[in-house]
Amino acid sequence: MFGMEFYVDPSRCIGCQSCLQACEECETHRGYSMIQFDFVDRRESTATAAYVCWHCDDPTCAQVCPADAIKKYDDGIVGSSLKPRCIACSNCVLACPFGIPKLMAPQEQMMKCDMCYDRTSAGKRPMCATVCPSQALAYVRPEQIARDRREKPVNTFYFGNQKITTKVFMMTPADEDSVSIDVADYTWENADALVRQTQ
Amino acid sequence: MRWFGRPNKKPLWQDEFSVFTADERYVSRRQLTKFLTLTSFSMFVGNAWILLRAWLHKSPSYTARPVGKADEIAVGSATTFQYPGPDSPCILVRTGADSYAAYSQVCTHLSCAVYYSPERNRLECPCHNGAFSVADGSVLQGPPQRPLPRVVIERQGETLVALRVESGGQV
């Protein structure tokens, strides 16, 4: 939109949580942050990662929605659920490979990042990108990213056999063409196996 | 039979409720409102036009025209003629020695030609068993809702002259 793209670089995240605060300021969901904020490995490191919805080209969350409440708009943004339609079934919460949708129990509605559609559709930057001091969340022109960063923007993800292309870019090492994540690596079963091995 | 199937391989529900707003085929509230407004406006204009036409309607003028000789047909029999134009078939019945009745031959139901039935002394339409009175053209039975238009006949000497067509009146 307006020649700008969203770039996420977790390696630049300093854990200030400004994005969470800025996101909460939004009129459309005041008090609730749509940013995903993780401590990567809390026991070993202080590293944090903040990221937004990746706005898949073929959004799984919308595909599984039985109420047609999640729509992908013409400019590539996957909207938050439409309040009159969402039935809070959490199909999307379970289906999203990135774990983006959040079921808001008080509202009985799924809410997720819509890249501040009220702002970006009018040419403004999303709230999180405006406040991020290290520009781990950056909403800039592709030329600027190519000029300023060593990392390579990538928007292809592999979750096992599922290939996902997204609107939002992940900054990866320059020799990577895609991000491949095997969810099985992060399951509790493997962790138990490691624990058993050490005992 | 490929043309018969839907060209899209996607299941119907996915086609109808697309994830992408660009492929949506919903009727929005605004579209529906626009449709209702424009439709009712055009209905209003149409009704106003009909009303206006009824107000400005002038009854057509007819020219008297001889349609036959007075003793050409026997009492209790009928003949046909065209009045007011060659495309308007009419039927003339001699009901008595000196009385004649003439009506449009076009049935007011579905425009079949009516004929005179001497046995029952009425005008009958063979298509749907409609029947009209010879006395005034009113409907006696069957599906027609309006009486037959009546042709006013005047005897001038030996000649029968059609003067005008009177509409069949109300139901």
Q: Total domain count for chain B?
A: 2
In a domain, residue B3? The reply is no
pLDDT at residue B6 above 80?
A: no
Q: Do B44 and B98 belong to one domain?
A: no
Instruction: Please judge whether A72 and B17 are an interchain contact, meaning their C-beta atoms are less than 8 angstroms apart.
Output: no
Q: Do B29 and B79 belong to one domain?
A: no
ipTM score over 0.85, yes or no: no
Q: Do B111 and B81 belong to one domain?
A: yes
Give the one of A58, A63, A72 whose C-beta lies nearest to B21's C-beta.
Answer: A72
Domain that holds residue B36: 12-56
Q: Do B83 and B100 belong to one domain?
A: yes
In a domain, residue B1? The reply is no
Where would I find the beta strands (DSSP E) of A35-190? 36-39, 48-51, 102-104, 109-111, 137-140, 152-159, 162-172, 179-181
Task: Tell me B68's DSSP state.
Answer: E
- From residue B64, alpha-carbon distances to A177, B13, B83, B153 in Å are 97, 70, 9, 9
Chain A nearest-CA residue for B24: A71
Residue A192 pLDDT level (bands cut at 50, 70, 90) = low
Q: Do B113 and B43 belong to one domain?
A: no
Shortest CA gap B19–chain A (Å):
5
Q: Do B75 and B154 belong to one domain?
A: yes
Alpha helix segments (H runs only) across chain B: 12-16, 29-56
pLDDT at residue B1 above 60?
A: no
Q: Do B100 and B153 belong to one domain?
A: yes
- CATH classification of the domain holding B92: 2.102.10.10
Q: What is the pLDDT of residue B7?
A: 64
Q: What is the pLDDT of residue B157?
A: 85
Higher pLDDT, B171 or B128: B128
Q: Which of B82, B112, B80 is nearest to B94 (CA)?
A: B80
Backbone φ, ψ for residue A185 (5° rounding): -65, -20
Q: Does B20 touch chain A (CB under 8 A)?
A: yes
Task: Tell me B85's DSSP state.
Answer: S
One of 3.30.70, 2.60.40, 1.10.3470, 2.60.120 is the CATH number of A5-56+115-198, namely 3.30.70
Q: Do B159 and B107 belong to one domain?
A: yes
Least confident of A32-36, A66-70, A78-82, B12-16: B12-16
Shortest CA gap B38–chain A (Å):
28
pLDDT at residue B170 above 50?
A: no
Query: What is the pTM (predicted TM-score) of this model?
Result: 0.60
In a domain, residue B7? The reply is no
Instruction: Please judge whether B21 and A74 are an interchain contact, meaning their C-beta atoms are less than 8 angstroms apart.
Output: yes
